Chains A and B, each alone.
Chain A
Amino acid sequence: MMRVSLWKMGLIPVFIGSLCAGSASGFTLTGKNWAYQASPMGENWNVCPVGMPGSGVQRTKDGAAEWDYIGFQFTFGADQCLSGGAYPAFNNVNQVDFGGGLGAGVLAQTSWWFNGKNTVECDLRFSNAWNWYTGAAGSPAANQFDLWSVAAHEMGHCLGLGHQDGIVPKPVMGSTFGAGEVRRNLTADDVAGRNAIYGGGVTYGGGVTCPATQSLQSAPEGETSLATLRQFRDRFLARSPEGKLWTRLYYRHAWEATLILLRNPELRAQVRDVINQMMPAIEAATDGGPLSLTGKDNRAIDKLLKAFAKEAGHELRRSIRTARRELRRRRFLSRLNDR
């Protein structure tokens, strides 16, 4: 169970700028994912090299890496076969291999195990019945299937995405894939699906979906403040596990926070005020110093949290309660500044 520093929900709109993916969202979710983990995809994934054609091992990793972002990174252990050739094999190993037995017409298959909504293991097999292209440059022949593209698709299933059709450009998670085709790069729809699970901007109705952007976009110097917040995220928060956790949870809750802000102009103004008040501390931390908060900062943040809580759903309210408690203890700051 992930230990959550939950006061981030309130502070995050204050601290972090937006990097919202802008696109209509049509992704589908399997309903099972690794978001409960402190480091999703961080448990070792293993590629069994036996029988893998050409550079298939590396192309598998390349496909997985397509999904990497600030919210998680696929981490691969040594290339080894840990499932005795069995697929699927529920054995606490996330195994990728190459073999048969998938049935007629199947290029590859992903199998995932779950407990409730939590994915606990994922195995992937590429079928040895097809002619695979494992090059990085160049392009597959008309009778070859691009392993990199298929790996990206199957890893999408592992992280919790279902098939998605009817979107242009055709997403990695599109259900159809032809010989000679290359579809390695995530589209906005793929990104939106991933971010909906693991955090990140989700766009709906063409609107802005990041709380900070929602609050600052029309303010004088708003763009400058947002740029500073983005730097704060990338230079300061990204340097500590605690900071990364903050960032991820900010994006996970961003949609609800944005909805709250959309219907509450006074709260938007309050967020702006708190950001402005804290900007010197944010800039100092971005420039390499520690993040320090004054008593006045803490009181402003606490007041903002209370205002959010009045509008929040049950889960968010509970998170904010915990957040306010942690804020009073101030343990979080020392973890954030710990390099």
Chain B
Amino acid sequence: MKTLGLAMLVLLVTALVFPSPGSALMVEMSMDQLSQEADNVVRGTVVKQVSAWNLGHTAIHTDVTIAVDEVISGSERSEVTFRIAGGVVGEIGMRTSNDPVFQTGESVIVFVGGDEVAVPTLVGKAQGAFKVEDDAVIGVDGKKTPMADFVDAVRADGALGSDSLDAR
């Protein structure tokens, strides 16, 4: 019964936060996929962004640091830094169609993966970043989900995943 309730909640939040039809030009990742592939899901505030050219001076990346207010999933930590493509260095800037753009000081929830590599990245690029306003989470289509529901859904996905594994 509890599992059924969690599943219903996940479906509800997924429907609210993600666009429903088809797949994205980045192929749409479900909440379950985002949660499963993320090492850390945190809510916090963007406190620092450092942009730089790569070694070959062919692309710009930005290391984004989040001061963590809440660890929704993963290990406890006070801040998280991850890398996105794009940024501005001097007079030249670079953006991509799939990477999000953050504003320092804004509240976000991010799904961060790649703990075992040198620099973590966002799971699903822009799909792994959600803006937070007025205790609501804003999806890529602009729809708002109450924070508590969103957090419950992320954690429920983890629980459902474990249940599935256990069932096997």
Chain A residues with CB under 8 Å of chain B are: 30, 32, 86, 88-91, 102-116, 120, 150, 153-154, 157, 165-166, 175-179, 181
Residues of A within 8 A of B95 (CB): 30, 32, 111-112, 114
Q: A110-B97, A112-B94 are in contact. Are A89 and B25 (CB under 8 A)?
A: no
Q: A88-B59, A105-B29 are in contact. Are A178 and B21 (CB under 8 A)?
A: yes
Please determine whether A111 and B85 come into contact, CB atoms closer than 8 angstroms: yes
Residues of A within 8 A of B86 (CB): 111
Residue tally, chain B, CB below 8 Å to A: 33
- The answer for the CA separation of A179 and B95 in the assembled complex, in Å, is 26
Residues of A within 8 A of B96 (CB): 88, 109-112
Chain B residue at minimal CB-CB distance from A181: B22
Within 8 Å by CB of A114, from B58, B92, B125, lies B92
Chain B residues with CB under 8 Å of chain A are: 19, 21-29, 37, 56-60, 85-86, 91-98, 121, 124-125, 127, 140-142
Chain B residue at minimal CB-CB distance from A153: B25
A-B contact count (CB 8 A): 102
From B94, B97, B121, B142, name the one whose CB has the most chain A CB atoms within 10 angstroms. Answer: B97
Please determine whether B23 and A179 come into contact, CB atoms closer than 8 angstroms: yes
Residues of A within 8 A of B22 (CB): 176-179, 181
- The answer for the CA separation of A153 and B24 in the assembled complex, in Å, is 12
- The answer for the CA separation of A166 and B19 in the assembled complex, in Å, is 10
Chain B residue at minimal CB-CB distance from A173: B25
- Given A175-B140, A176-B28, A179-B22, 7 other A-B residues pairs in contact with their CB atoms under 8 A: A88-B58, A88-B94, A103-B124, A108-B97, A111-B94, A115-B92, A176-B23
Residues of B within 8 A of A115 (CB): 91-93
- The answer for the CA separation of A107 and B22 in the assembled complex, in Å, is 13
Please determine whether A106 and B125 come into contact, CB atoms closer than 8 angstroms: yes
Within 8 Å by CB of B141, from A86, A111, A165, lies A165
Residues of A within 8 A of B21 (CB): 176, 178
Please determine whether B124 and A105 come into contact, CB atoms closer than 8 angstroms: yes
Residues of A within 8 A of B57 (CB): 90
Please determine whether A113 and B98 come into contact, CB atoms closer than 8 angstroms: no
Chain A residue at minimal CB-CB distance from B22: A178
Please determine whether A89 and B58 come into contact, CB atoms closer than 8 angstroms: yes
Residues of B within 8 A of A111 (CB): 59, 85-86, 94-97
Chain B residue at minimal CB-CB distance from A116: B91
Please determine whether B141 and A90 come into contact, CB atoms closer than 8 angstroms: no
Shortest CB distance A184–B (Å): 14
Shortest CB distance A31–B (Å): 9
Shortest CB distance A117–B (Å): 10
Shortest CB distance B20–A (Å): 8
Please determine whether A166 and B24 come into contact, CB atoms closer than 8 angstroms: no
- The answer for the CA separation of A177 and B140 in the assembled complex, in Å, is 14
Residues of A within 8 A of B60 (CB): 90
Shortest CB distance B156–A (Å): 22
Chain B residue at minimal CB-CB distance from A106: B26
The contact sample of 14 A-B pairs, CB cut-off 8 A, is A32-B93, A90-B60, A90-B94, A107-B25, A108-B25, A110-B97, A111-B59, A112-B95, A114-B94, A115-B93, A176-B24, A176-B28, A178-B21, A181-B22
